[in-house]
A = this chain, B = another copy of it.
Amino acid sequence: MILILSENADPKGRDYTLLMEALHGLPGIQVKVHRIEGELRAVTEVYLIGDTKPLVIEEMQALPCVERVVRVSEEYRILGRHRDDSRPSHFEYQGLRFGQDTLHVFAGLCAVDTPEHVEQMCRALRDNGQVCTRMGAYKPRTSPYSFQGHGRACLDYVFDIAGKHGIRVIAMEVTHESHVDEIREALRRTGSPTGAMLQIGTRNTQNFELLKAVGRQQEFPVLIKRGFGITLDESLNAAEYMASEGNSRIVFGLRGMKTNMGDPHRNFVDFAHVPVVKRLTRMPVCIDPSHSVGTRARAPEGILDVMHATAQAVIAGANMVLVDFHPDPPTALVDGAQALLLSELPLFLEDVAIARDAYQRRAAAARRHAGD
């Protein structure tokens, strides 16, 4: 059960103390308080964990400071959509709204290689009106003998260049809790106005210790990728691990699954799950067409497979697109084969816009028919 406290509830006030006394007196119930700092206002949510079935909603609602009570099912209790659940399905970061009703493209480098390429990438983004990007510094690789990313060494120039080109958020994978500190320090050191969205890759979806670490901090929002060999339910529970530690500014990312089909793509594109995740949880949903599709194959009408997959996700309501570009794919150190060219950025963005427009027309048609 979740109690959402009224906005002016004061942790040092008498009402708050009375509330806590009442809650701690409930037999067999564990009490966890989360303060979620929004850009406009802070919200305090109190989680009651244990057998909450005997608790009466009306009685809980009558406790001091309590504005609203949500009875949650066992699963995804923080992030899930529950009956009569009016908690928001969006958050703000760096002046941008990330929600189930918005769309942001994060085009960028899968793996940072040189300052020149970062510069070229950021300039192309600015020229096309983009304020978000992806930049890979820490790269988990299957073999210990493959290039593992420049790591901390590239952070300063990445944030520096991005900041100069008006980039407001960089999505960046972390594979160890120490990386979060390194990113925080680089941002401070460079004074870059850019922010970071921490990315948990598919190999770490069930690295619970890492999830707890990024869940304990609230400075950066987190993009968690679905695990490629586990069920959707298990991946959503992984997101819940972070939320249970206090950070619920989470975007859920689809990136293709491994299957037994000898898939013609690098992975089995799972973007039909975009509306499913939006139905089950309140998280915005990101897709990664580059790692899903994995090639530059072109369909008969001249459209790249990566664009087809992106359009499929966007027409079904995707909220964020993480996509690999590279100024010179053949020299890319990681996954060059799947990167788009900078010259393809305008077509890619136009393609996304057509699909987004179609999504909005579909939603309008659905509302109109519902009103018939």
Contacts and interface: CB of A to CB of B under 8 A. Distances in A.
Given A208-B175, A229-B227, A362 B300 contact: no
Interface string A184-219: 000000000000000000011011111000000000
B278 A268 contact: no
Contacts of A142: 206, 234, 237
Counting every copy of the chain, the complex holds 4
A144 interface: yes
Given A145-B49, A351-B365, A358 B229 contact: no
Interface string A246-261: 0000000000011111
Nearest to A100: B300
B258 A301 contact: no
Contact of A265 (B204, B272, B317, B357): B272
Contact of A311 (B230, B261, B276, B315): B315
B297 A279 contact: yes
Contacts of A265: 272, 276
B350 A354 contact: no
Interface stretch (A18-26, A56-64, A302-310, A322-330): A302-310
B259 A175 contact: no
A363 interface: yes
Contacts of A240: 143-144
Contacts of A280: 264
Contacts of A209: 175-176
Contact of A365 (B261, B309, B354): B354
Interface residues of A, number: 90
A279 B308 CA distance: 13
Nearest to A229: B229
Interface in A348-372: 350-351, 354-355, 357-358, 361-363, 365-367, 369-370
User: Which of A204, A299, A357 lies at the interface centre, i.e. has the most chain B CB atoms within 10 A of its CB?
Assistant: A299
A307 to B, nearest CB: 8
Nearest to A256: B272
A262 interface: yes
A369 B298 CA distance: 14
14 contacts: A81-B300, A140-B206, A142-B234, A143-B240, A258-B260, A264-B276, A265-B276, A268-B270, A272-B305, A272-B309, A299-B316, A307-B366, A311-B316, A315-B355
Interface of A: 49, 74-75, 77, 81, 89, 100, 140-145, 175-176, 203-204, 206-210, 227-234, 237, 240-241, 244, 257-265, 268-276, 278-280, 292-293, 297-303, 305, 307-309, 311-313, 315-317, 346-347, 350-351, 354-355, 357-358, 361-363, 365-367, 369-370
Given A175-B208, A231-B261, A307-B366, 15 more contacts: A74-B143, A77-B145, A144-B244, A203-B206, A229-B258, A230-B261, A258-B260, A259-B259, A265-B276, A275-B299, A302-B370, A311-B315, A311-B358, A312-B316, A355-B362
